Structure 1
Amino acid sequence: MKKIQMTTPIVEMDGDEMTRILWKMIKDELILPFVDLKSEYYDLGLPNRDKTNDQVTIDSARAAVKYGVAVKCATITPNAQRMDEYHLHKMWKSPNGTIRSIMDGTVFRAPITIPSIHPIVKNWEKPITIARHAYGDVYKSVEIRAEEAGTAKLVFEGKSGKTQEVKIHDFDGPGVIQGMHNTDKSIRSFAHSCFKFAVDTKQDLWFATKDTISKTYDARFRQIFQEVYDKEYKEQFEQLGITYFYTLIDDAVARVMRSKGGFIWACKNYDGDVMSDMLSTAFGSLAMMTSVLVSPEGKYEYEAAHGTVTRHYYRYLKGEETSTNPMATIFAWSGALRKRGEMDGIPELQHFGDALEAACFDTLNEGIATKDLVHLMEGVEAKQVNSADFIAAIRERLEKRLKA
């Protein structure tokens, strides 16, 4: 079988732990035998990020902007325990946060659904897509550990010389302080991305924050969304018969649980992080969710929405067999290759992305699945296999589809 040729590289961002192991397996079994892969490789594994003072993360994000398509493996965001485990020089920030800040886009996450797995929420009939703001908030926050009593203040020094100052808190003992920010520019880009995606997919758009409590920060999100909608998208929404509405985040959660699905739920950065995990689990598994970062200029970064599967990695290091679900990582590759084919005018590459996803569905629909899915499947005789055998089963079905 002649390999599919590429013209422009995709940016390949390798990662950590069990997902790094799966990354290589997916490339070796499902990509390289069929595609003459052109990629610009960046090792975002935690040891290399530490070695390069995290410059590798910045370089990879800039490359994604340059080439327009990237695919990313799951990575560790270190905490105190990881500092000790990896002997780090610094507690590096989330690589996803760094990449999202540089690309300044929106993360769209949607569950991968199959007929044999029904959502835990019984009235959900269609997938729910999370649109997650990809800049700022807690992911770009700064923090102080106050070791004694004192006063914390929030100060803004304007270029004009004007200064704004508010007291945060009078501490009578030790505590912690956090400062977050966002920009009108990024919020506006977020709004445009959400409205454009809703128009493209002909889905209702919900947006939720907590502006009753955060009367300046969250309220600014609401104001900008309404301005952008009224000025540029209201007429298109009405013509398509789709709806945009704003509500409080707690009301949105209640509405989502009672809904039938089939809409886009736009969330601020942290809310989108948490709610996408909730939705993916409710629809089946954390490993059954697609995730793509889309910049305002139309640059794309595909990734898995889940973490590095640490528990399975420790078992792997002991030589024990694991049954880790690679679906989200496979779909990151298929999405990136399909988008590369679309942007470069290579229909064979687009077809390959479609065929790879179809082969995954063929495998699952025959009941061949990893441990996390077996107990969820209904109407098929489910058989648990390890990760290597699952990927091998996908390859067998992929070869059939490509030869058809």
Structure 2
Amino acid sequence: MPDSSEARAGREAPGRRAIAHPEAATITREALIERARAMVPALRQRARRCEDAERLLPETAQEFIDAGFFRIVQPRRYGGFEFGLDVLEEVVIEVGRGCGSSAWTLAILGGHSWWTALFPEEGQDEIFGEDGHVIMATNLSGNGRCRRLPGGYELSGRFVYLSGCDVANWLCVGAMLEDEGHADPPWFYMAIRPEEATILDDWHMLGLRGTGSKSVVVEKAFVPERRALPQALVQAQETPGRYVHPNPLYATPMLAFLSIETTGAAVGIALQAVEALEELALNKPVRRREAEAGASGFQASVPSFRRHLAEAKSKAEAARTILLNEARRLMATMREYAPAGRKMAPEEMAEYGLNCARLVDLCVQAVDHALAAGGTSSTFDGHPLERCFRDIRTLSTHNVYRMDLMAERWAQARFQEAARP
């Protein structure tokens, strides 16, 4: 079950720094979800502008800040609410009912306050700053390069797909250490300020246009040691942050967390499509051939329309159930594992990826049913169903949601585990 504010109240880690958010002790899961739900009408009205701008709109970003959405999984010690991943997903789902692009961007930026909490303590002190306001856009693929300097590293590279970078106040990218003769060079996740990078206007996509997932270029930026997180520690589930914060949330393996993090956007898009189709059911008149077959009034009287609507509804709701179950299961697992010092096995991590890929596939099917029932008029540019179709199809191309890749990853991990003595 999600943590109560009372259960979270005693989890502030001892240390030199503590930032108290005025709502930290009183905010509830229900209040956060209701704030997101109340935004849905405005998000739907802005969806076209968000797409045209090819970025998260400034007014939407400010509303997310005011609602505390970027602090949901942020440590209380640094001004966050320290809820579990399941609460973030519930909020993202509601936002996705209004705008898929805004939901994806919130999932990335809101989830990455958790990522920041994995860094060395001194780095967290700097990044969270005096008020705990962190909006971090990332590319964690490790395709940059860095070289060692006294006290840190010099970072360079071009990094793609930094969702929300236009509104971020921190960036985090991955870079491989070069020029030290390593057969298998180590690499690091490095946090820098946006002013140390150049954002390229290169996000012109089929769907999720409003995420602003642009490329950034970094040239010889100095990154101090405290803002460099070794990938080897992340892979070993031994990040500095798990020893800074006592909450098991911050011992969660990256692969398991990231498998779930953005999936709420897919569920929200599917639910948005269902709601758009329900509106057509009561407002779109039957066509001549449908009337000749016995239908009358509006599309709700057409058997094939009702069947598509029921299929879309059941698949979207099944996806929501799977997602929240997976998020809560992950949080429960970490509450069991972290106090005992137990690490998550590769097969366990891969299972979260497998299940999330499956539920995204359900969301794709839900939107396909909705579009089929909506008819040709629902494919006009700017129609909610047309936008949902483009958004869910673009989202489903992400490697973490490709069923073929996730199935193979899980199967390899499963049988490698089985082969061990």
TM-score by length of 1: 0.24
- Structure showing the higher helix proportion among its residues: 2
If asked which structure has higher relative contact order (CA below 8 Å, sep 6+), I would say 1
TM-score (norm 2): 0.23
